[in-house]
Amino acid sequence: MNEINQLRSHLRSSISTLSSLKLYQAAKWSAEALNGMKIDDDEESDVDLIQDEETTPIPTIYQIRLNSKDHDQFELAKTYFDCKEFDRCYTILKNSTNSNCIFLKLYSLLISGDLKREQESEGALGSNDLNSSNKSIPIILKEIESLFNKDKSYKKNPFINYLYGITLLKQKSTSLAQDALITSLKQFPFNWSCWLELIHSISNIDEALNIFQNLESFFHQSFPNSTKFSELIMIKLGKLNCLQEFFQQTPELYNQLNELLEIFPIFSFIKIQKALISYHALEYTECELIFDDILTNDPLRLDDMDLYSNILYVMQKRSKLSYLAQLACSIDKFRPETCCIVANYYSLKFEHEKAIMYYRRALVLNRNCLSAWTLMGHEFVELKNTHAAIESYRRAVDTNQKDFKAWYGLGQAYEILDMHLYSLYYYQKACYLKPLDSRIWQALGNCYDKLSKFKDSIKCYKKSLFLNNNSEISKDVTILFRIAKIFENLNELSNCYEFMKQVLNEELENNQKNDLTSQARLWLAKYEQNLGNWENAYFYAMDMNSGTSQEIEEAKMIAREAKNKMNGITR
Amino acid sequence: MPASPSQHNSTLAISPLVANRTYDTLRSTPNQPLFPSPLAANASAESPSSGNFNRSSLGNGGARSANTSDNSINNLSQAEKLRLWRHDALMQHHYKTAEYIGDKVLSLTNDPNDAFWLAQVLYSNGNYYRARQLLSKNNLDSSSVSCRYLSALCLMKLEKFDEALDIVGETNPFKSEAQHVKNLDGGIKLEASLCFIRGQIYARLNNLERAKDCFKEAILVDVKCFEAFDEMIRNNMLTPLEEWELLSLLDFQDADENGDLIKALYTTRINKYVNGDKFEDAELKLNEEYNLGENNDVLLSKADLLFMQCKFQKSLEICEKILNKDEFNFATLPTYLSCLHEIGGKNKLFYTAHRLAAHYPKHSISWLAIGIYYLSINRITEARKFFLKSSLLDPNFGQAWIGFAHTFAAEGEHEQAISAYSTASRFFPGTHLPNLFLGMQYLQMSNLILAEEYLLSSYSICTMDPLLLNELGVIYYHKNHLESAENYFTQALSVAKKIDSDSKAWQSIHANLGHVYRRLNLFPRALYCFEKVLRINNNDSNIYSAIGLIHLKLGDFNKSIENLHHALSINNNDPVAKDLMRRALEENGLSSEENHISSNGSIFFKRSNELLQLNSNTLNYQKNNVTPLFNRQKNIINNNSNTLNQSIEQRATDLINGDDSSDDDDAIMEIESE
Taking only the tens place, the pLDDT of each residue in B378-391 is 888 889 999 888 88
What's the CATH code of the domain at B105? 1.25.40
Binary contact (A130, B569; C-beta < 8 A): yes
Average pLDDT over residues B65-94: 71
* pLDDT at residue B398 greater than cutoff 60: yes
| Single-letter amino acid, residue B95 | Y
The answer as to whether B390 is a domain residue is no
DSSP B376: H
Which pLDDT belongs to residue A322?
Answer: 92
Classify residue B130 by burial, with Cβ atoms within 10 Å: 0-12, 13-18, 19+: middle
In B, which residues are within 8 Å of A428 by CB distance? Answer: 588, 592, 596
Residues A109-119 pLDDT 10s: 999 998 888 77
Binary contact (B589, A459; C-beta < 8 A): no
The answer as to whether B378 is a domain residue is no
Dist. CA B255–CA B261, nearest whole Å: 9
Dist. CA A465–CA A444, nearest whole Å: 12
> Which of A2, A37, A20, A129 is closest to A81 using CA atoms?
A20
Q: DSSP states of A395-428 as a string? A: HHHHH-TT-HHHHHHHHHHHHHTT-HHHHHHHHH
Which pLDDT belongs to residue A112?
Answer: 92
A1 pLDDT tier (thresholds 50, 70, 90): low
> Which of B557, B488, B478, B561 is closest to B519 using CA atoms?
B478
For residue A447, give the chain B residue with the closest CA: B589
* pLDDT at residue B17 greater than cutoff 60: no
The answer as to whether B550 is a domain residue is no
Angle between helices A454-467 and A438-450 (to 10 degrees): 160
Dist. CA B144–CA B10, nearest whole Å: 11
Which residues between 482 and 511 in chain B have a beta carbon less than 8 angstroms from any beta carbon of chain A? 503-504
- For the four alpha carbons of A354, A357, A362 and A365, in that order, the dihedral sign comes to negative
The answer as to whether B210 is a domain residue is no
The answer as to whether B28 is a domain residue is yes
Is B551 an interface residue toward A (CB < 8 Å)?
no
* pLDDT at residue B289 greater than cutoff 90: no
Task: Count CB atoms within 10 A of the CB of residue A311.
Answer: 22
| Single-letter amino acid, residue A40 | D
How far, in whole angstroms, is CA B250 from its chain's centroid? 22
Terminal CA-CA length for chain A: 93
The answer as to whether B146 is a domain residue is yes
> CA A519 → CA A514, A525, A554, A561, distances in Å?
9, 10, 11, 19
Classify residue B110 by burial, with Cβ atoms within 10 Å: 0-12, 13-18, 19+: exposed
Binary contact (A141, B504; C-beta < 8 A): no
C-beta of residue B505 within 8 angstroms of C-beta of residue B466: yes
Which residues between 564 and 603 in chain B have a beta carbon less than 8 angstroms from any beta carbon of chain A? 565-566, 569-570, 582, 585-586, 588-589, 592-593, 596-597
Report CA Rg, chain B: 32
CA distance A130 to chain B (A): 6
- For the four alpha carbons of B533, B539, B544 and B546, in that order, the dihedral sign comes to negative
Q: Establish, for the pair of chains A and B, how many residue pairs have beta carbons separated by less than 8 Å.
A: 57
Which pLDDT belongs to residue A193?
Answer: 92
Dist. CA B544–CA B538, nearest whole Å: 9
* Number of structural domains in chain B: 1
For residue A456, give the chain B residue with the closest CA: B593
CA distance B396 to chain A (A): 39
* pLDDT at residue B629 greater than cutoff 50: no
Dist. CA A129–CA A110, nearest whole Å: 18
* pLDDT at residue A108 greater than cutoff 90: yes
| Single-letter amino acid, residue A468 | N
User: Which residue among A130, A133, A425 places its CB closest to the CB of B588?
Assistant: A425
Dist. CA A551–CA A553, nearest whole Å: 5
Percent share of chain A, pLDDT over 70: 89
Residues A396-405 pLDDT 10s: 888 788 888 8
Chain A residues with CB within 8 Å of chain B CB: 130-131, 133, 138, 141-142, 168, 170-173, 394-395, 398, 421-422, 424-425, 428, 432, 451, 453, 455-456, 459
Dist. CA B1–CA B138, nearest whole Å: 11
CA distance A464 to chain B (A): 14
| Domain housing B6 | 1-158
Residues B319-352 pLDDT 10s: 988 888 888 888 888 888 888 888 888 888 899 8
Task: Count CB atoms within 10 A of the CB of residue B4.
Answer: 11
* pLDDT at residue A324 greater than cutoff 80: yes
Is B314 an interface residue toward A (CB < 8 Å)?
no
> Which of B520, B517, B513, B563 is closest to B542 using CA atoms?
B563
In B, which residues are within 8 Å of A464 by CB distance? Answer: none
Which pLDDT belongs to residue A217?
Answer: 87
In B, which residues are within 8 Å of A455 by CB distance? Answer: 593
For residue A450, give the chain B residue with the closest CA: B589
Which pLDDT belongs to residue B55?
Answer: 34
Dist. CA B311–CA B302, nearest whole Å: 11
CA max distance for chain A:
115
Contacts of A526 (CB under 8 A, 6+ apart): A537, A558
> CA B462 → CA A394, B197, B467, B502, distances in Å?
48, 30, 11, 19
Fold exhibited by the domain A472-571: 1.25.40
Dist. CA B477–CA B485, nearest whole Å: 5
User: Which residue among B565, B582, B589 places its CB closest to the CB of A424?
Assistant: B589
A105 pLDDT tier (thresholds 50, 70, 90): very high
Residues A494-526 pLDDT 10s: 778 777 777 777 777 666 667 777 777 777 777
Average pLDDT over residues B209-233: 83
* pLDDT at residue B443 greater than cutoff 90: no
| Single-letter amino acid, residue A481 | F
Percent share of chain B, pLDDT over 90: 1
pLDDT averaged over chain B?
Answer: 71
A295-304: long-range contacts (C-beta < 8 A, 24 or more apart)? A297/A266, A297/A268, A298/A268, A299/A327, A300/A331, A301/A268, A302/A328, A302/A331, A302/A332, A302/A335, A302/A337, A302/A338, A303/A268, A303/A337, A304/A268, A304/A272, A304/A337
Mutation for B interface: A401, A422, A436, most B CBs within 10 A: A422
The answer as to whether B636 is a domain residue is no
Q: DSSP states of A435-462 as a string? A: TT-HHHHHHHHHHHHHTT-HHHHHHHHH
Binary contact (B536, A432; C-beta < 8 A): no
C-beta of residue A17 within 8 angstroms of C-beta of residue A63: yes
Ranges A160-169, A488-497, B174-183, B362-371: which has the least confidence: B174-183
Is B68 an interface residue toward A (CB < 8 Å)?
no
Dist. CA A60–CA B355, nearest whole Å: 60
For residue B557, give the chain A residue with the closest CA: A425
C-beta of residue A83 within 8 angstroms of C-beta of residue A109: no
* pLDDT at residue B210 greater than cutoff 90: no
Terminal CA-CA length for chain B: 45
Ranges A226-235, B81-90, B476-485, B660-669: which has the least confidence: B660-669
Dist. CA A23–CA A356, nearest whole Å: 31
Q: Which of B1-15, B95-109, B569-583 has the highest mean pLDDT?
A: B95-109
Which pLDDT belongs to residue A161?
Answer: 92
A282: left (phi over 0), alpha (psi -120 to 50) or beta: left
B588: left (phi over 0), alpha (psi -120 to 50) or beta: alpha
The answer as to whether B139 is a domain residue is yes
- Which position has the higher pLDDT, B118 or A123? B118
C-beta of residue A123 within 8 angstroms of C-beta of residue A364: yes
Classify residue B554 by burial, with Cβ atoms within 10 Å: 0-12, 13-18, 19+: middle
B573 SS3 class? coil
B86 pLDDT tier (thresholds 50, 70, 90): confident
Task: Count CB atoms within 10 A of the CB of residue A458.
Answer: 21
> Which of B539, B477, B541, B551 is closest to B509 using CA atoms?
B477
pTM of structure: 0.70
Q: Which of A154-168, B104-118, B528-542 has the highest mean pLDDT?
A: A154-168
Which pLDDT belongs to residue B11?
Answer: 45
- The ranges assigned to domains in chain A are 472-571
